[in-house]
Amino acid sequence: MRYVGDIATTDSYKISLYTWNEKYIVKIEAGPYEQMYKVNQLDFWGDEAALREIFADEVFLKSVFARFQQMHSDFNDVLTRFDLV
């Protein structure tokens, strides 16, 4: 996997762009959690700018971060059930 660059970085999250096996891989990290999206490079004809625009979309990012909150909640729930917190 080859690192291409960051799409966005804030105190709350980091979005990185990679290429591998004719795919763009977008990794979004927030604390101990991450989400990855694999996108066929041919769908974007090598246009990284378009991909960067999509992954900077506010509506999409709100959904992504809601998913991070759900991941955190799910993990805390299981830790509580096993008396680990």
Segment 6-50, tens digit of pLDDT = 999 889 999 999 999 999 999 999 999 999 999 999 998 878 899
CA distance 14 to 6: 8
Whether the predicted pLDDT of 57 surpasses 90? yes
Question: Per the structure, how many domains does the chain have?
Answer: 1
pLDDT in the model for residue 79: 97
Rounded to whole angstroms, the Cα distance separating 7 from 54 reads 10
Whether the model clears a pTM of 0.75, i.e. scores above it, the answer is yes
Q: What is the pLDDT of residue 47?
A: 85
Tell which residue, 78, 75, 4, has the closest CA to residue 33.
75
Domain that holds residue 32: 2-81
Residue 72 has a pLDDT of 97
